[in-house]
Every structure is written in C-alpha cells, then in structure tokens.
A and B are shown apart, each in its own frame.
Chain A
C-alpha cells in the first residue's frame, strides 16, 4: 500500500481542516459539519463537546469515512498518520478502520450484531487485521475481555449481546475497538446511554486503558464532567462549526467564546443554588437554514450588528487556543 503523502504538512496524528459534510434530504441540504478544524496528537485525549444535533457525531463518522447516503463529505482535508484520508480507495479505508482508527458507539445494544456471539465479533476484528492462527484468536479475545474487566471471559465470550448487561456491552465494544491497538480511538458518546454508576466504571476503565495503551482518544460527548476527567484538550462545537478550542483548563476556566461561557455556567455544580439554574435562551438552530453570520448570535448576550452579518474568523487567543468570536476580548475581560 503506497503512502499517499498529504498536501498538508503536519505533525499531528490527526489533522482535520475545513471539513464539510452535508446531508441531502427532501427538506433541503443539512450542513451538519460546515468548516471544522481540529487536530489530535499522539497519546492525547481530545474532547469534542456540544449540544445534541450540533454535528459532532457527524465529525466522528466523517473521519473514518463512514458517512452513508444521503450524506457526503463535500470539502476539506483529513490527514491521518501522514496520509490523505480523503484520497484513499474503499479497500484502503477498510484496512485502516479497526486497525488504525477504531470507534466506540453510543448505544451498545444496537451497535452489536444480535446474531453473533461477543467472541465471534471481537474475533472477527482481530482476524481481519492480524495474521494470527485460528487457534490463538480465542486466547486473544479472552485476554482483551479480561483487560476490559469482563468476568469469566472464556465463558462469557460465547454469549450473545442480549445476554450482557448494558455496561458489559459497552466494555465489549471497547474491547473490540482496542483489539488491534489502534492509533486513534473515536468514542461517540460512550457513556450517554448508561446508568450513572456504570458511567463511572466505564470512565475508570477508559482512564486506565489510556494510560496503559497510549492510544489517542477523540471523545465526543455533551457531558462536561467526562471531559474534565479524561481530556487533555477540548473543542466546543456549535451548529456545525468549532466555536472554541484549547486545553481543558483554559476552556473551563478562561473561556473566551460566549457559548463556551454559557455552557460552563449552565452546568450545575454542587454549590449551585436551586433558584440559580442558568439556561441559554433560544433554540439550537436547524442546520438546513443556519443563521447568517455567527451562528450563535441569536442567543448571544454579546451580539452586535457585525455578528449577524459576518462569520467571525478563527483567531489565535494564546498558546494552542483558538476562538471564533468577534467579541472574544470582551468576553475575556468580563471574567
């Protein structure tokens, strides 16, 4: 397989520039991802946060090119491990998926094939990408199941997905995803559909795996708590665009985008008094007809005329910190 060197010269493991993914539906073209830039370095955990329907799952599916009709990647560049992803043939992508980039999805019950055993499904991932004699595959599967802390792995790998509990299924999915030691693991809302206590367990699991395997992780979520615990850097997404991106501490404590600020304010802590729940007024825009100019302006307390007319450019606000807002400086000052 020849390495198609990317036009983009980059040192990042994953470098996404101006990604655009649109969905062509009866009601119009949904611009789910409309010019997204982000990068992930080796060994780091990157979070992508935003409310529902802001396009973050679409970003996750676009990177390994899993977008199906009526959706399509219509623009931008994706460089992974030095190679141009968007120029790869389907066969080449099949070799990358599962091996170099793997994914964990939100709903483990519907994401696992109900008619194959867990062992068969994980075994398939292994046999696809690694030259291991059949007799050893089961051993490998058992080992991985052990690593994700599934009890009695030798027997449980013969079970079907419906015989597992929700938390165990998610562990099995994670096992499947890490089975070939991928360079990048994309986790799309991995804990959203789980109970709070199970969430905590999966969180711990992911932390320990992160330390052990040094895999880069892209974590898609709307749960800021998760981001705080796991991520090194985080980008905030709104209506198909990145609003702000920086390391976790900066984003949480010194956000410069009104939306990020609002998100932080809206997340209650133990100290928040009941009367004080803060909500962002207005509604998330439909991506068929997003607002003109800055997409957040209808709901923003700092909005002025220019916000309604022109899109704010991406600006450097510090070391590795980018913001897209006309009034970022004001926001910073009003700490």
Chain B
C-alpha cells in the first residue's frame, strides 16, 4: 500500500470518527431530562423570568426538532462558531475562551507526556532486563504505589509539603499576578508555577506506563528471535537495547496512543487542584454551571485534540513497524 497511502487513509478516517463524536455529544446533552435552560439559570443563582427563558430558548433554537438543531449546530461549529457561554462568569464566545487557554493545557500535557515516556521507557527496559533484581523490585513496587494514588490527592499533598510548609514553590495559579516581570523572569515564574502540576500528572502516568513497558519487554524477551540473536553471539547488552527494545517500542507507542485520555484526565484534575486557567478547569467549571452550549463546544474541541493525538500515534507506529506498509 505504501506509507503515504496508509497515512492518508488514517487522516481521512479521522473525519467520520469526528462526526460520530459530534452526534454523541449532541445527543447526550439534548436527550437528558430536564430543561437545560432552566437548569443553567438555576445554577447561576440568578432568578430569571419565564419570558427570558423563552427568549433564550428561541435564540438557541431549542424549540426546533432535534435533527434540525443538530445540523444548525454542526454548521456553526464548522465555521468556527462554537457557541456562546451564557453563564455569568464567562458570557463570551467559547472560541475566545478556548484560544486563551488551549496552549497552556497543551503545553502541560505534552511536557508531562514526554517526561513520562522517557522515564517509563528507561526504567521499564532496565527492570525487565534484570527481572527480579533489586532495581526491578524497587521500580515495580513504586509504580504500583504511584498507580494506586489518586492524582488530586498527590497534588494536594505536594502543595502542602512544597508550598505551604517548605514555601519552595507557588501554591496555585500559572503565574504571579500583579507584578511586572521582564520576559526571562516571567518564563521562570511560569515554570516554577507549573513544575508541580506537570510532575503530578507525570507521576501517575509514568507509573502506569512503566508497568506496561516492563510487561511488554518481558514478553519480547521471551520471543524466539531473541534466542536467535543470542545464538548468533550478539552481546547481551545489544540483545536488549537493539533487538528487544525496538520491538517493545511498537506496543508502547500503541499504548501511548490509547492512553491520551489518561493524560487528559490528569490535566483536568491538576488544573482544578492548582487553579490553572486551562481547558481542563474550564471544562469542569462549565459542567458545574451546566453551561451546556459552551460545554458542547468545548467537549468537541477536546475530542478533536484526542483524535489528533491518536492520529499522530498511528503515524508514528507505521513509521516504526515495517510490516504495516505493505
């Protein structure tokens, strides 16, 4: 089939998947019992007259049949109109909310992901190569512990230790407000604010990945071609780092692709715990306020991000595995 054709096919597949996602999100929000408008206004705590409710309803097109509403909504989405947030807090087009915050969230997620992958691979390979050794047991136990801890709790405990008691790192937010910083200082300021959040996500994710990498590696080391490599006289070190490692990368890449959701939930939690104004915290706030129009738009954007991440992993996989291209 050829590599280019394969990649094109994967890219094209994203489109129908995306549409399916839009249908689901749309149905989920519109099929729930209860009048969304009233709920929304109820959450915001402002008393509201039925007249206004009716007006908003007409403006949002909620008195139209379901499929018409869907088509209108999709039409708007595709032209960049992701709806408007009606809640008192935001009251702005969702698109502007998103563009403000997206790079922060993406930055955090990508950094956490990169850190985790590096650590998990390094430790996982070593642990598998020396199964049952001290370092293997140490890592495996730590991973199990880390994997069982709630992310938000880790965040709170670290805040307590490093911010409140030791005063080493800032408690919340993405930067220090009210103070003017020259650019380099500003970067450092932001970095110190983001160290803990990124570490918290990485901690859980590394634990998870490590276990998988180790088990994949053990599986690879059991394969016949590893015996062949040894029978050829390949040094044990090369057997592990050349023959086994490359084969472990394949399922690991797949795994990373499948677990983008993991990093995403980590981001949502961490942004809430550390009060970071990113997409994750926005998502939760909108949900709490039942700001449905905005929630739909944001859900869609997040889903696209995940789909794109999956696409990248697919492509990366096809670049590594020679069997895919033909």
Contacts and interface: CB of A to CB of B under 8 A. Distances in A.
- Tell me if chains A and B make direct contact, with any CB pair below 8 A: yes
Given A160-B322, A162-B323, A97 B225 contact: no
A66 interface: yes
A97 B224 contact: no
B43 interface: no
Interface of B: 223-225, 227-236, 243, 246-247, 250, 320-323, 326
A87 interface: no
B227 A105 contact: yes
A66 B246 contact: no
B82 to A, nearest CB: 43
25 contacts: A66-B230, A94-B233, A94-B234, A97-B231, A97-B233, A98-B233, A105-B224, A105-B228, A105-B231, A107-B224, A110-B225, A111-B224, A112-B225, A112-B228, A113-B229, A114-B247, A115-B246, A115-B247, A115-B321, A125-B233, A128-B232, A128-B233, A128-B234, A129-B233, A160-B323
Given A113-B243, A115-B246, A176 B224 contact: no
A64 interface: yes
Given A61-B227, A115-B246, A160-B322, 20 more contacts: A64-B231, A96-B233, A97-B230, A98-B231, A98-B234, A103-B228, A105-B228, A107-B224, A110-B223, A111-B224, A112-B225, A113-B247, A114-B322, A115-B250, A115-B322, A162-B322, A162-B323, A163-B326, A176-B228, A176-B232
A295 interface: no
Given A94-B234, A97-B233, A113 B321 contact: no
A110 B219 CA distance: 13
A56 to B, nearest CB: 16
Contact of B225 (A66, A90, A95, A111): A111
Given A113-B243, A114-B323, A115-B321, A99 B233 contact: yes
Interface residues of A, number: 30
A80 to B, nearest CB: 14
A325 to B, nearest CB: 34
Nearest to A97: B233
Contacts of B231: 64, 66, 97-98, 102-103, 105
A124 B223 CA distance: 19
Interface of A: 61, 64, 66, 90-91, 94-99, 102-103, 105, 107, 110-115, 124-125, 128-129, 160, 162-163, 173, 176
Contacts of A97: 230-233
Contacts of A105: 224, 227-228, 231
A301 B310 CA distance: 66
Nearest to B243: A113
B232 A102 contact: yes
A111 B227 contact: yes
10 tightest Cβ-Cβ pairs between the two chains A and B: A98-B233, A97-B233, A98-B232, A110-B224, A103-B231, A113-B225, A111-B224, A111-B228, A125-B232, A160-B322
A98 B320 CA distance: 28
A190 to B, nearest CB: 13
Contacts of A129: 233
Contact of B235 (A94, A99, A113): A94
Contacts of B223: 110
Contacts of B230: 66, 97
A160 B320 CA distance: 13
Nearest to A122: B232
Contacts of A66: 227, 230-231
B228 to A, nearest CB: 5
Nearest to A61: B227
A324 B235 CA distance: 40
Contacts of A103: 228, 231
A190 B155 CA distance: 58
A85 B320 CA distance: 39
Nearest to A186: B231
B110 to A, nearest CB: 27
Contacts of A173: 228
A199 B48 CA distance: 86
Contacts of A107: 224
A94 B235 CA distance: 6
Contact of A114 (B225, B233, B235): B225
A176 B250 CA distance: 25
Contacts of A95: 233
A157 to B, nearest CB: 14
Nearest to B326: A163
A92 to B, nearest CB: 11
Nearest to B228: A111
A102 to B, nearest CB: 7
A91 B233 CA distance: 9
Nearest to B244: A113
Contacts of B246: 115
B78 to A, nearest CB: 41
Contacts of A102: 231-232
Contacts of A110: 223-225
A114 B326 CA distance: 13
A124 B234 contact: yes
A111 B320 CA distance: 20
Nearest to B250: A115
